[in-house]
Amino acid sequence: DAGVIQSPRHEVTEMGQEVTLRCKPISGHDYLFWYRQTMMRGLELLIYFNNNVPIDDSGMPEDRFSAKMPNASFSTLKIQPSEPRDSAVYFCASSLGPQGRGYTFGSGTRLTVV
């Protein structure tokens, strides 16, 4: 298995533009998580899905952020319009079954909004 795959690895965009981040979880995993990592705040959970259904989006900072999971093998995190303070590394992770096994993280997308 190639693990959790995220694209793009790096994204530089201008303020006000729409940004779409993509994630392919490990096949068979039934949970998918989106995290944001910054120096100031560390790792923040934005949203997570179970069997493609959003369960908790309380970490989504603003209405500018939205996430979808149209099927078990694909999820997107969209920011529209983007702002410089959205600059961060966005991680996707997936897991199967009981939490005791932990998550598998993707390599992350480093977003820079100028």
Chain residues in the site for another protein (CB under 8 A): 4, 31, 33, 35, 41-43, 45, 48, 50, 55-56, 91, 93, 95, 99-100, 102-108
Nearest approach, Cβ of residue 81 and another protein (Å): 28
Tokens of 100: 């005791």
Q: Which is nearer to another protein, 81 or 105 (CB)?
A: 105
CA distances to 34, 43, 100, 107 from 58, in Å = 12, 15, 23, 24
Amino acid letter for position 21: L
Q: Which is nearer to another protein, 54 or 81 (CB)?
A: 54
Nearest approach, Cβ of residue 85 and another protein (Å): 18
Amino acid letter for position 53: V
Nearest approach, Cβ of residue 15 and another protein (Å): 25
Q: Is 44 helix (H, G, I), strand (E, B) or coil?
A: strand
